[in-house]
Amino acid sequence: MKNYNIAVLKGDGIGPEVIDAALTLLPVIEEQYQVKFNLQEHLIGAISIDEKGVPLEDEVIAHCKTADAILLGAIGDPKYDNAPNLQQRPEQGLLKLRKELGLFANVRPVTAYDALLDKSPLKKEIIQGVDLVIYRELTGGIYFGEHGYTDDGAAYDHCTYSVLEVDRILHLAFKAAEQRDKRLTVVDKANVLETSRLWRKRAQVLSEQYPTIALDFLFVDNAAMQIILNPNQFDVIVTENMFGDILSDEASVIAGSIGLLASSSLGNGVGLFEPIHGSFPQGAGKNIANPIAAILSTALMLSYLGLNEAANSVEKAVNQALEQGVVTPEISGDHKFGTKQVTQFILDCLAELEVESN
């Protein structure tokens, strides 16, 4: 029996609820595929500040480095939004984890589910058939540059990118495009920013190694517009940290809810898997949090571990829930189903798929 060590970081707000929902599926996977998931839970974010005094302890990083995969919930609490010390904010725990583990690529698939086309604020004919993926650079750029104030009170945030940082995520994006529709769009602001000119230059150089890929470029403001006007034109999008942060959240409207979108963060070592939504502390404990993004993040984790059939089964179970309207209030508009009910329905579907496969 194959054993997998999974570091579980539930985090803040609705994080524990959606991760607990995702974890209920693992015993079914263990039984069907004769594997074992050894779960080790750690603190990160506001809860870590509350209990440990820091958003992420060094020993947690050490444990994560030895894991086969990391499953993360969500991070953030309004009570720390105005903390005078930037390093004492919950989000710094995640930034530190990404940096320490070398998780330089955030991968966010965006799918327009047929059952939810009417739930998106965009017209059905615009989003039908959308299947794109965004590669966001995760450990460089303005989020990790020097921040501060000058003597006269002006604020500054420095954005820096090295050739290595740009090349390694471009390679991943090119390779992803090779496995998909062979189209890659680099999003930048090369008409203004020197860092963007580096991204564009390196993409052109590396494209010689990927002759089957159709490469194009869009300024970020135009890309933001095109994602809304004609998202079907995109296959793989790759961009720098801040642009990717903004565009991937914008693209969530295609699916109909940010609560449906999963993500993976990849690098040279262990992979991290998390829903893209925030901690939504106002919804914690109310049985309204959408567990699907966390469940689909778990499917990405299963695929990463080589359990592709298991991942496909989880995705099929989620699709059954969407097709039959078993969804949480932010999608359905009512409170007929909550977090627990949606989770149980998906769990039942997964168990039925297991029986059918046997």
Which pLDDT belongs to residue 355? Answer: 57
Which pLDDT belongs to residue 26? Answer: 97
164 vs 329: CA distance, rounded Å = 44
Which pLDDT belongs to residue 257? Answer: 86
Which pLDDT belongs to residue 146? Answer: 93
Q: What CATH number is attached to the domain comprising 305?
A: 3.40.718.10
Which pLDDT belongs to residue 256? Answer: 84
Domains held by the chain: number: 2
Assess whether 15 and 78 both reside in one domain: yes
Assess whether 250 and 114 both reside in one domain: yes
What string of DSSP letters covers 61-121? HHHHHHSSEEEEEE---GGGTT-SSGGGSTHHHHHHHHHHHT--EEEEEEE--GGGGGGSS
pTM over 0.85: yes
Domain endpoint, select from 260, 276, 296: 260
Assess whether 249 and 114 both reside in one domain: yes
Coil vs helix vs strand at 345: helix
Catalytic residue among 114, 157, 216, 221: 221
Assess whether 208 and 293 both reside in one domain: no
Coil vs helix vs strand at 11: strand
Assess whether 145 and 52 both reside in one domain: no
- The CB density around residue 72, as the number of other CB atoms within 10 Å, is 25
CA distances from 345 to 29, 256, 299, 327, 332 (A): 16, 20, 16, 10, 15
Assess whether 121 and 253 both reside in one domain: yes
Give Cβ neighbours of residue 176 (< 8 Å, ≥ 6 apart): 107, 133, 135, 236
* 18 touches 343 (CB < 8 A): no
Structure-block tokens of residue 343: 């989770």
Assess whether 238 and 178 both reside in one domain: yes
What is the span of the domain harbouring residue 244?
Answer: 104-260
Domain endpoint, select from 222, 245, 260: 260
Q: Is 316 a catalytic residue?
A: no
Assess whether 125 and 219 both reside in one domain: yes
Assess whether 123 and 255 both reside in one domain: yes
Q: Kindly state the greatest CA–CA separation across the chain.
A: 71
Assess whether 248 and 114 both reside in one domain: yes
Assess whether 274 and 166 both reside in one domain: no
Catalytic residue among 249, 316, 340, 348: 249
What do you get for the CA distance between the two ends of the chain, in Å? 19
> Is the Cα dihedral 267, 72, 57, 69 positive or negative?
negative
Q: Is 99 a catalytic residue?
A: no
CA distances from 109 to 136, 159, 322 (A): 11, 26, 17
Catalytic residue among 96, 189, 210, 235: 189
> Which amino acid is residue 32, in one-letter code?
Q
Which pLDDT belongs to residue 75? Answer: 96
* 330 touches 292 (CB < 8 A): no
Residue pointed to by tokens 């086969």: 68
Cα dihedral 314/10/110/95 (nearest 10): -140
Tens place of pLDDT per residue across the chain (358 aa): 899 999 999 999 999 999 999 999 999 999 999 999 999 999 999 999 999 999 999 999 999 999 999 999 999 999 988 777 767 899 999 989 998 999 999 999 999 999 889 888 899 999 999 999 999 999 999 998 999 999 999 999 999 999 999 999 999 999 999 999 999 999 999 999 999 999 999 999 999 999 999 999 999 999 999 999 999 999 999 999 999 999 998 998 898 888 999 999 999 889 999 999 999 999 999 999 999 999 999 999 999 999 999 999 999 999 999 999 999 998 888 889 999 999 999 999 999 886 565 5
* 138 touches 106 (CB < 8 A): yes
Coil vs helix vs strand at 296: helix
Catalytic residue among 77, 235, 245, 304: 245
Domain endpoint, select from 211, 231, 260: 260
CA distances from 24 to 3, 20, 223, 348 (A): 17, 6, 38, 11
Assess whether 248 and 358 both reside in one domain: no
CA distances from 193 to 89, 161, 219, 238 (A): 29, 11, 11, 17
Structure-block tokens of residue 199: 């991204």
29 vs 121: CA distance, rounded Å = 35
Catalytic residue among 143, 161, 210, 304: 143
| E runs forming strands in the chain | 2-11, 35-42, 69-74, 105-111, 131-137, 147-149, 155-157, 183-188, 214-219, 236-239, 262-266, 271-275
Q: Could you give the strand order of the β-sheet that contains 35-42, starting from the edge strand earlier in sequence?
A: 35-42, 2-11, 69-74, 271-275, 262-266, 105-111, 131-137, 236-239, 183-188, 214-219
Q: Is 189 a catalytic residue?
A: yes
